[in-house]
Structure 1
Amino acid sequence: MIYWIWLNTIDGLGPVMQRKLLNHFKNPKNIFDADEYEIMKVKNLGIIRAKEIKNTSLEKSKEILDKCEKNKIKILSIYDDLYPNQVKNIISSPTVLYYKGEIRKNIMGVGIVGSRRCTSYGKTIAIEAASYLAKNNITVISGMAKGIDGYAHTACLKAGGYTVAFLGSSPDVCYPKEHNILMESIIENGAVISEYPPETKALSKHFPKRNFLISSFSQKLLVVEAAQKSGALITAHFSSKINRKVFAVPNNIYQKTSSGTNNLILEGAKIYLNPEQLLEDEHILKSIKKFEDINQIKLKSENQNYKNNINSKLKNDDNFDLEKYSSKEKMIIESIKEGTKFISEIMNDTNLNEREILELISILELEGVVRSIPGGRWKIT
């Protein structure tokens, strides 16, 4: 695992470029052993970047591996059978995940997200939906935040279900702190998963990536309550982009915590009226069965075609269509296309505030459009 950790911790080397390297060299050890001229053969990697990769050592990776063993943190690579193919085939998915607990083969489930300051109405819906899913052996996925997330995890556990929490910190750091008991219960009856190595604190810049993972591992997403600017809406945005079905709970048009969900419905999300809607599709029902017969055959078939799928996605990624992005995303892309930029420079070019840029640029980074480089600057990949 040390070479997987090494690949995953190279500064400025995101999942898209990691995939290109893996596609060329087959495994991370081969990348580590290659010389800079061989690394240069990978598309979009010049001599400077190749030297940076070659000059990184295993020291940091050894420290991380030691901390994982000390804190009983397990590591999941993208080549592992427990890493769902539906997530593997998203080009911006992390190549390495850290987790505590147990990951089961049918981990794909239904995401439940919403406001931290939820109403009793939202709480009731989250509890009802999570309990129903648990009783039907469907994984309940959320982010272990206060409010809707916490109620969804708790209700699932009380109903004897399996739940997964994706974190904005490492799996050995509890955030928020008051969810310590909940976190331990999730580890005992499910898993807490993160792309961040041990001893990583929860930072605001981590949460868009956490939200992306919630979307990726969710066959469907239920947004219970959400204000206009919230992490739940970012999660819904990701879900729509990767063709996951989004359900939103309608509510009082004058209620602040409902403005985001009502607008999701206006934009095309399915109106959520009862938990049975979360079981309607046949592929959901198949995904919750044990992977013994037909699912094992499907898994082998998908693994055989995996490299072809990745090659195809990479080709599409190299020539991204600007028209599919929102007006604000376009402004950021146009700004960075002129050359490497600091956030402050992007603010000057676009007249967007820092929070908007950080949220949107995190989404663009996950989609492989931009990447951060040393010094706090951003560039087009």
Structure 2
Amino acid sequence: MTVASAWRTLFCHEGHALPNQAADLELAAVTKTYGETVAVNHVSLKIPAGTYCCLLGPSGCGKSSTLRMIAGHEFISDGDVMIGNTIVNDLPPAKRGTAMMFQSYALFPHLSVRDNVAFSLKMAGTGKAARAQRADALLDLVDMTKYADRLPSQLSGGQQQRVALARALITNPTVLLLDEPLSALDPFLRIRMRAELKRYQREFGISFIHVTHSQEEAMALADMVVVMNDGRIEQIGSPREVFNTPKTTFVARFIGRHNVVPEDGRTFAIRADRLKLSPPAAADGAAATVTEVEYQGMSVHVALRRSDGTELLATLSESDFDRAPVQVGDSVSVGWQAADRHELAA
């Protein structure tokens, strides 16, 4: 039985609606102000049901405020949040059909794993036996049954995340909201847990809306990436669309591995792996000086500065670098194919 089938069976046997009913989420000119400060500025966005959406951007860009307004943990200064056909602006969090996974997981340290998962049912007045049965079923789905009687302090970071996920899912949400849930994990565990999150989202069939400042995380997880900057949306698209065809200078630079190059009165983005280095006498490139060489295992990053001051980054395969190695201070010629240029908005 798949995770999704087990989840459906759990809720249907208890007389609940199916947990993954289709429901789009839509923001219409949503704004959040704190006094004179505008944190979110007329954001409009439609997230189809069953989508893994990452809100991506630097600290202070408005992504967490947007998530909290969807959840009902922040008042909306202007605009509307709609889930399905219902405007939820005035509904409390528990009535919106959403559930939240916080950055810290926010587990109660004095409660067992089982009681943490069952806590919302206790607040709703569900009997002790019924809520324990449902909590145990959710713990089984996330492979945490044998830890049910432990305290959170006795769990690893990845285990705590699974408990937080089970606690969120026990409320039968239509949309799961995740506020930087992987940021506290070490790099190896982060990679493993993001694969688990993606699998759960796919099998449960509900929308996950995930706030992150990690470009790599968004690329790995999302069906839809929403890049935010200064309270506004800069670009919406699939990971490949956003990476290969950034619309603005901000997106090109924030996503990384792009060079922003002015040419002929226009501005272009060129992927770092599309730059070609050759001896300085080559006629088909611009002269540049190597400023840094960084070995990355399968690739080598070569930072350069052109004579006009433009900073460039070339990502070379290890074999290409070995065929024509360079070091800091070397002069080289830098070129690229015209087809590899992507024009950015003014």
- TM-score interval for Structure 1 and Structure 2 normalised by the shorter chain: under 0.3
Q: Which has the larger radius of gyration?
A: 2
Per residue, is there more strand in 1 or in 2? 2
Per residue, is there more helix in 1 or in 2? 1
